[in-house]
Amino acid sequence: MKVRKVALLQALGRQFDEYTKDQLTAFIVCRNVLVDGVLATDPRLLVDPNACFSFTFDAYVSRGGYKLEHALDTFGLDVQNLVMLDAGASTGGFTDCLLKRGATLVHSVDVGYNQLDWRLRIDERVVVHEKQNIMTLDSLEPECDAAVCDLSFRSIAGAARHILSLCKDGWLVSLIKPQFEVPKGLVNFNGVVQDRSVLVKVMRNVYDLLARDGVGMHRLAKSPITGHKGNTEFLSLLKMQPGLSKDEMTAQLEELLS
């Protein structure tokens, strides 16, 4: 008996009922759906309902998701049922990770425009704040429990205190990029920090600047993925209370670099 074909969107809806119609449409038009291994880009395409349907996208919309995943696991942090702030959201890797870890809602803030992945943009659990400098944001509704951030072209020092002020529970997981923390005047700096002694010097300086703002560095982890141009990056758990001593932080850093 000949099988009656159905629209691709309808077939996906039957097999992947965990996604909304809008989300499945986004997957299709963003070239993320395969039918029997062949790319399909039209939601109205007639397909065999018994065909093999699969998605081409990674677990997260960007590599940032894997970085935050590593930090949450390493630091033992649970975001289940929390309202979170993602400062410097960009395409949304951190936001995606938070949602997959059970966050109730994520405020995705970025100074840029139209960068957030469409799958997240249409997700009801995401509040999009575009063209918004995190440093000029005074409040969020609903209020955040905690925050994550990945800021580019500026130091986390000077920003951490403000981000923490927007959160009830007062913890922040921050990606620290040494290439944006290098003190002015560093000789022969070409955008990549490779020398171990320079990395240590830069991170100790970040520690001092954070401490000056009353921000404590409580945990430190090395990102499992390098940054732009192969830069080593770190993730740190920050709070508005004393954390590791400078020597303890340095010892952790030395171990991570060994």
- Which pLDDT value is given to residue 58? 62
Give the whole-angstrom CA distance, residue 68 versus residue 59: 13
- Which pLDDT value is given to residue 189? 63
- Considering the domain boundaries, does residue 103 fall inside one? yes
Return the closest-CA partner of residue 171 out of 234, 81, 256, 82: 82
- Considering the domain boundaries, does residue 1 fall inside one? no
Q: Are residues 70 and 35 in the same domain?
A: no
Q: Are residues 70 and 50 in the same domain?
A: no
- Which pLDDT value is given to residue 150? 95
Burial category of 95 from C-beta neighbours within 10 Å (exposed 0-12, middle 13-18, buried 19 and up)? buried
Bridge partners of 171, per DSSP, are: 239
The residues near 76 (Cβ < 8 Å, ≥ 6 apart) are none
- Which pLDDT value is given to residue 1? 65
Return the closest-CA partner of residue 194 out of 229, 165, 239, 150: 229
Q: Are residues 104 and 197 in the same domain?
A: yes
3-state secondary structure of 15: helix
Burial category of 167 from C-beta neighbours within 10 Å (exposed 0-12, middle 13-18, buried 19 and up)? buried
What is the number of domains present in the chain?
2
Q: Are residues 155 and 253 in the same domain?
A: yes
Q: Are residues 130 and 207 in the same domain?
A: yes
Q: What is the CATH number of the domain that holds 222?
A: 3.40.50.150
Helices 8-15 & 21-29, crossing angle to 10 degrees? 120
Q: Are residues 73 and 187 in the same domain?
A: yes
- Considering the domain boundaries, does residue 107 fall inside one? yes
pLDDT digits (tens, 9 = 90+) for 98-144: 999 999 999 999 999 999 998 899 999 999 999 999 999 999 999 99
User: Quick check: 56 and 31 in contact, CB under 8 A?
Assistant: yes
Q: Are residues 152 and 227 in the same domain?
A: yes
- Which pLDDT value is given to residue 207? 97
Bridge partners of 126, per DSSP, are: 106
- Which pLDDT value is given to residue 80? 97
Query: What DSSP state is assigned to residue 213?
Result: T
Q: Are residues 48 and 73 in the same domain?
A: no
Q: Are residues 105 and 45 in the same domain?
A: no
- Considering the domain boundaries, does residue 166 fall inside one? yes
Return the closest-CA partner of residue 253 out of 187, 193, 202, 185: 202
Q: Are residues 35 and 162 in the same domain?
A: no
Could you check whether the bond before residue 142 is cis, i.e. omega within 30 degrees of 0? Answer: yes
Q: Are residues 36 and 88 in the same domain?
A: no
pLDDT < 50 regions, the chain: 187
Q: What is the CATH number of the domain that holds 40?
A: 3.10.290.10
Give the whole-angstrom CA distance, residue 21 versus residue 31: 16
Helices 246-257 & 196-212, crossing angle to 10 degrees? 150
Q: Are residues 99 and 217 in the same domain?
A: yes
For residue 38, the enclosing domain spans 6-55
